[in-house]
Amino acid sequence: MNAWTVVLAAGFGSYLFRMSMIGAADRIRLPPRLDDSAALVAPAAFAALAVTSIAGSVLGSSMPQALAPLAAAVVAVLAVMRTGSSYAAVLAGMPTLWILTLHTSA
């Protein structure tokens, strides 16, 4: 077997596995407690991605450059606490990050 056959077989197997979950999602019912907590998966995954990105930028740079992502995260958290909307985090945090990054790079 050459490398391309392995790559194509793995890709096709991954595709079939994902499609089977989509097809089975309508037939499988979760317990109410698990179904309620499933709504928190996306925000938890986004928070994990954001924290690892912020930690990487803070640990890999000097203090003035690390201040922009930390300040943007604080602004995003405050926006969500005030509005209760996860969209507010992006709408408030990203411009803060862009402005502070532009300011520290100049």
Choose among 89, 103, 92, 97: nearest CA to 70. 97
Segment 54-82 mean pLDDT: 83
- What residue segments make up the domains of the chain, in order of their start? 1-30, 36-105
The DSSP line for 21-53 is HHHHHTT----HHHHHHHTTHHHHHHHHHHHHH
Q: Look at residue 26 in the predicted model and tell me its pLDDT.
A: 72
Question: What is the pTM for the complete model shown?
Answer: 0.55
pLDDT digits (tens, 9 = 90+) for 89-104: 889 999 998 898 887 6
Segment 67-80 mean pLDDT: 88
pLDDT digits (tens, 9 = 90+) for 20-41: 877 777 777 878 888 788 778 8
